[in-house]
């Protein structure tokens, strides 16, 4: 079944666009991977074919080394953005959700060692499981919201969007100076520390504040 964006429980008549991601937007995550903390956002993209529904379950690649979870707050774009300021960026947000930036970590590390692009480790089919979205008005302060991931009832990742190096609205404005953001595009806003490998059969619970909770399984 093909993916469709869902907002407040209703399917949207919006295309599933590109996914624009930011690397190392939480300092503790950069440190855990022995990466320097960036002075400006590190951007990369995933195609629409990477997007799948988070619930009720999703698959991970087999025989390609470890596939790591990276818990992130996701942002659904509802208006075009180009060279936007922070106020325009905030106004263009249709909804908020939660998702996983899946990463083939062993493969990514090998590609990095060779100074090769690493899209095949980040942008493969199914690399971006997403929850349904809640309307932007429901989230009182997207720049101060808790996110949490448990795997098999053990806390793996826990953070707050207030810990982002580049906050949400500033991040979208920065992205819009490089890539035009269109309705149906999704922004992944970075992951806190605690990334680790997933295994088939793992049971996951992802939460965004007290407004959104998703339960899923690795198929």
Nearest residue to 94 via CA among 162, 182, 173: 182
Q: What pLDDT does 3 receive? A: 94
Q: What pLDDT does 2 receive? A: 82
Does residue 207 form part of some domain? yes
Q: What is the mean pLDDT of residues 93-120?
A: 95
Q: What is the mean pLDDT of residues 131-148?
A: 97
Q: What is the mean pLDDT of residues 84-111?
A: 97
Q: Report CA Rg, the chain.
A: 16
Structure confidence by residue, pLDDT tens digits, 194-203: 999 999 999 9
Number of separate domains in the chain? 1
Q: How confident is the model at residue 27 (pLDDT cuts 50, 70, 90)?
A: confident
Does residue 68 form part of some domain? yes
Considering the chain, what percentage of its residues have pLDDT values greater than 90?
91
CATH number of the domain that residue 117 is part of: 3.90.850.10
pLDDT at 21 over 60: yes
Nearest residue to 212 via CA among 141, 131, 137: 131
Mean pLDDT value across the chain? 95
The model carries a pTM of 0.95
pLDDT at 218 over 70: yes
Q: What is the mean pLDDT of residues 51-63?
A: 97
Which three-class secondary structure state does DSSP give residue 116? coil
Does residue 1 form part of some domain? no
Q: What pLDDT does 56 receive? A: 97
pLDDT at 30 over 60: no
pLDDT at 149 over 90: yes
Structure confidence by residue, pLDDT tens digits, 151-190: 999 999 999 999 999 999 999 999 999 999 999 999 999 9
Residue 11: count other Cβ atoms within 10 Å of its Cβ: 10
Nearest residue to 165 via CA among 20, 23, 27, 22: 27
Q: What is the mean pLDDT of residues 68-73?
A: 98
Nearest residue to 151 via CA among 98, 215, 75, 106: 215
Nearest residue to 156 via CA among 165, 147, 164: 147
By CB neighbour count within 10 A (0-12 exposed, 13-18 middle, 19+ buried), where does 118 fall? middle
Does residue 113 form part of some domain? yes
pLDDT at 1 over 80: no
Does residue 142 form part of some domain? yes
Domain boundaries, position 116: 6-218
- Specify whether the CB–CB gap between 72 and 191 falls below 8 A: yes
């Amino acid at each position: 079944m093909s993916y469709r964006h869902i907002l407040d429980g209703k399917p949207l008549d919006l295309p599933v666009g590109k996914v624009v991601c930011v690397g190392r937007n939480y300092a503790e995550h950069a440190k855990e991977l022995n990466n320097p903390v960036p002075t400006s956002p590190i951007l990369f993209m995933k195609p629409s074919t990477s997007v799948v529904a988070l619930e009720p379950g999703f698959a991970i690649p087999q025989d390609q080394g470890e596939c790591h979870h990276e818990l992130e707050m996701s942002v659904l774009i509802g208006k075009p953005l180009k060279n936007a300021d922070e106020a325009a960026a905030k106004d263009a947000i249709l909804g908020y959700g939660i998702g996983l930036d899946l990463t083939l970590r062993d493969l990514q590390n090998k590609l990095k060692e060779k100074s090769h692009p690493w899209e095949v480790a980040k942008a493969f089919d199914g690399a971006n499981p997403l929850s349904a979205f809640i309307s932007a008005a429901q989230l009182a302060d997207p720049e101060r919201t808790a996110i949490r991931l448990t795997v098999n009832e053990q806390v793996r990742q826990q953070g707050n969007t207030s810990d982002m190096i580049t906050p949400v609205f500033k991040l979208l404005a920065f992205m819009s100076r490089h890539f035009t953001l269109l309705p149906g595009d999704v922004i992944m806003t970075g992951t806190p520390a605690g990334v680790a490998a997933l295994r088939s059969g793992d049971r996951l619970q992802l939460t965004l504040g007290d407004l959104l909770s998703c339960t899923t399984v690795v198929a």
